[in-house]
Amino acid sequence: MEKLRATSNLRRSLKSLLNRRLSSGSDFTHFNQKRSFQTSFNWIRDYKSVGEVNAVQYRYFSSVSTLVQRNPSFSTLNSDDISYFKGLLGEKNVIQDEDRLETVNTDWMHKYKGSSKLLLQPRSTEEVSQILRYCNSRCLAVVPQAGNTGLVGGSVPVFDEVIVNVGSMNNIISFDKVSGILVCEAGCILENLISFLDNQGFVMPLDLGAKGSCQIGGNVSTNAGGLRLVRYGSLHGNVLGLEAVLANGDVLDMLGTLRKDNTGYDLKHLFIGSEGSLGIVTKVSILTPPKLSSVNLAFLACKDYSSCQKLLVEAKRKLGEILSAIEFLDDQAMVLVLHHLDGVRNPLPTSMHNFYVLIETIGSDDSFDREKLEAFLLSSMEGGLISDGVLAQDINQLSSFWRIREGVPEALMKAGAVYKYDLSLPVEKMYNLVDDMRVRLGNLAKVVGYGHLGDGNLHLNISAPQYDDAILEQIEPYVYEWTSKHRGSISAEHGLGLMKANKIYYSKTPETVQIMASIKTLLDPNGILNPYKVLPHSINP
Amino acid sequence: MKIMVAVKRVVDYAVKIRVKPDKSGVETQNVKMSMNPFCEIALEEALRIKEAGLAKEVVAVSMGLANCVDTLRTSLAMGADRGIHVEAARELIPLTVAKILKKLVGVENPGLLILGKQAIDDDCNQTGQMIAGLLGWPQGTFASKVVLDKEKQVVTVDREVDGGLETLCLDLPAVITTDLRLNQPRYATLPNIMKAKSKPIKKYTPEELNVEIKSDLEVVQVTEPPKRKAGVILSSVDELIDKLRNEAHVI
């Protein structure tokens, strides 16, 4: 079992949870009150100083916890299983080759590594159904995997779970040119869908930096947000239907293509964002907006965060219906991108600014949009909100400006170790957290802030030459508590995965989480789908 | 000294172009148009020469329908001082463009005329050479480096030719056409975009300049190149040998 820094995180959270349960006998209803935060914080501190007692305490509770332990109720693979899968899928789609397993066992950030011995590549829903039926009967744990671009360790095994990768299921089933409704299999790569739709005169309602590798099944399962959420809304609104396979192999056909269908409880919403823990999404039906011809992008510089905020308000008001994306990055992010990525050019080379904002408009009339945008930019400049800026004059310039914002995660990876946090916060408070973290960390690490200004979503990243527990201590649980205090979300769009499996209480009440656990038990009684993730280990079956 | 730069409005370089169903040309409706990349490089070079103090003014010229003004506005936003728009109701062939430019050169008297080496829509690579011929001026085409010597009134041009690089020394006034490696064009900054709104764009018609718009060329048909056949992924060496022997007949 190799689980790098995730282990220490989990141990810490386990300690705090179990301590509270044992000592006060209270339930978690008190958790959200400020006082409780302080007390649990103290417990963590106490335990840290006790050292040896830690280990003893931890081992004492090991029967209660299933945290960092492999769930003993899961079976181990044997040769009969392999033969069965080979018979079902064919030799080529049952992979036990070390090198290939190495890649699928490791997440994109190289932070989480499982030790799965088997990768399965089904080509149809029927094959997925057979796989799950078999695994359920044998009690073999399964990790559904698509593009493996997730950032919270949700797409790779923790121990030796069987990896079911939907990448071979990449057909586009149908596309209605009038309504713009696209039906496709879960393994379609987002960028391929975007190109396909481009030829038809439509666009995907979501766009993210990982588009070259991420697959739509994964996007739907994590309720991916992306760059255009401010214009097209979330996947909950755009996904009209989906087909999912449950843990016992049952195929749930909810693949509607209707814009409106109020017949009963809308179950597809459970699967959107469930991160593969309730079922494997095999087909998706999604509403795609028409492709509009006029796209404009402005790359602007602001001197402080409050200007960025005011700019956001002005943009929503003055640009109105043509606003399609509004993103920000701070000077630290810019420096990293210019330093680590090839072929990236600073659009505003004359001086380094504190904040950079990208504003994109999409509309149907180029001259009208340009006029509107230029008027807005002029008034913002005169109002002192923008200190400088450039406007893309052709598609190449447009892509190079986007490359800067989309390239920040890649640049962070190249810079060394990165602690990544994805938080939803009230827009006015968003950057205060970055400033606070800078004070807390001092010279230990570089704090970088960027994100979806329009959605109130901050991507807080702490970059250090190496992973170091001393740094982690300063970050967690401070970041989560800070977010919780402002009633924010500790995971705006990345999901909980393995990284935040025990952190859900910072943003959801215990009653809510209890219902989630019941639903999980209902749909996956043996808990074989993506175990150890999403829900806290204390209530995960 | 004045520098004149000719710029052309073309389909954006990054757009996936489609041929019109009647095969009369490329689809340009609802397609993003921008300045020809080589013209951008030409304009950038002119601006750099002006910023080095070797020229007083940069004038951008464009010919065509009313929407050429967009391209001229971009030129002004990048830093050109004035724009000239020659209105023409249809596509102009390089010879006509050269004739019009000759008349404009007569009006403006620039010391240097810089153009892009070719337009990405027709790939003609003719205008620069033709205007140099009509004016009797020396020409340095496919320039990858331009050094102006104001004292001696010469310009040294490194040209990208098949065999490598050729260096020419041209007496001013001269015509230069730019190649890709000459420079990296600047972005249009907001302050400059705002300033550009008040810069003048003068309109001419070909009649005023005594140039006849007649085309000696007629586009008969435009077709797409044959589609590449998809490759086939084989699962074993035996299958490969079988295909090479029986389908491709090469072994």
Q: Is A529 helix (H, G, I), strand (E, B) or coil?
A: strand
| Predicted local confidence at residue A55, as pLDDT | 28
* Residue A232 contacts residue A277 (beta carbons within 8 Å): no
ipTM: 0.86
pLDDT category, A11, cuts 50, 70, 90? low
| Predicted local confidence at residue A193, as pLDDT | 96
Compute φ and ψ for A245, nearest 5 degrees. Answer: -105, 125
| Predicted local confidence at residue A69, as pLDDT | 86
Q: Which of A7-16, A342-351, A519-528, B13-22 has the lowest mean pLDDT?
A: A7-16
Q: Please list every residue in chain A whose beta carbon sits closer than 8 Å to the beta carbon of residue B193.
A: 374, 377, 391
CA-nearest residue to A195 within chain B is B16
CA distances from A30 to A20, A26, A33, A37, A476 (A): 10, 8, 6, 9, 20
* Residue that the structure tokens 């073999």 belong to: A140
Residues from A contacting B (CB-CB < 8 Å) are 92, 198-199, 293-295, 298, 300, 345, 347-348, 367, 374, 377-378, 381, 386, 388-397, 399
CA distance A295 to A312: 19
Q: Of A366, A390, A399, which to mutate for an interface test with B (greatest number of B Cβ within 10 Å)?
A: A390
Dump pLDDT digits (tens) for A117-168.
999 999 999 999 999 999 999 999 999 999 999 999 999 999 999 999 999 9
CA-nearest residue to A346 within chain B is B187
Q: What is the mean pLDDT of chain A?
A: 87
pTM: 0.83
Given a cut of 80, whether residue A203 has pLDDT beyond it is yes
Question: How far is the first Cα of chain A from the last one, in angstroms, to the nearest whole number?
Answer: 20
Alpha-carbon gap: B212 to the closest alpha carbon of chain A (Å): 31
Nearest to A395 among B14, B77, B187 (CB): B14
Dump pLDDT digits (tens) for A441-465.
998 899 999 999 999 999 999 999 9
Dump pLDDT digits (tens) for A39-62.
333 333 333 333 333 222 222 222
Q: What is the mean pLDDT of residues B121-149?
A: 96
CA distance A18 to A162: 30
Q: How many helices (H) and strands (E) does chain B have?
A: 6, 12
**Residue environment code for A504-535, b if the CB has 16+ CB neighbours within 10 A, otherwise e:** bbbbeebeebeebbeebeebbebbbbbbbbbb
CA-nearest residue to B11 within chain A is A394
| Of A449, A447, A469, A445, residue with least CA distance to A459 | A449
| Of B66, B57, B23, B62, residue with least CA distance to B39 | B62
| Of A439, A491, A485, A495, residue with least CA distance to A462 | A439
CA distance B186 to A350: 12
pLDDT category, A21, cuts 50, 70, 90? very low
Contacts (Cβ under 8 Å, ≥6 apart) of A69:
A62
A97-A103-A104 Cα angle (round to 5): 85
Counting other chains too, the contacts that B221-225 makes at CB distance below 8 Å and 24 or more residues apart are B221/B23, B221/B24, B222/B19, B222/B20, B222/B23, B222/B24, B222/B25, B222/B26, B223/B19, B223/B23, B224/B19
Given a cut of 70, whether residue A26 has pLDDT beyond it is no
| Predicted local confidence at residue A541, as pLDDT | 52
Given a cut of 60, whether residue A25 has pLDDT beyond it is no
| Predicted local confidence at residue A424, as pLDDT | 94
* Residue A169 contacts residue A186 (beta carbons within 8 Å): yes
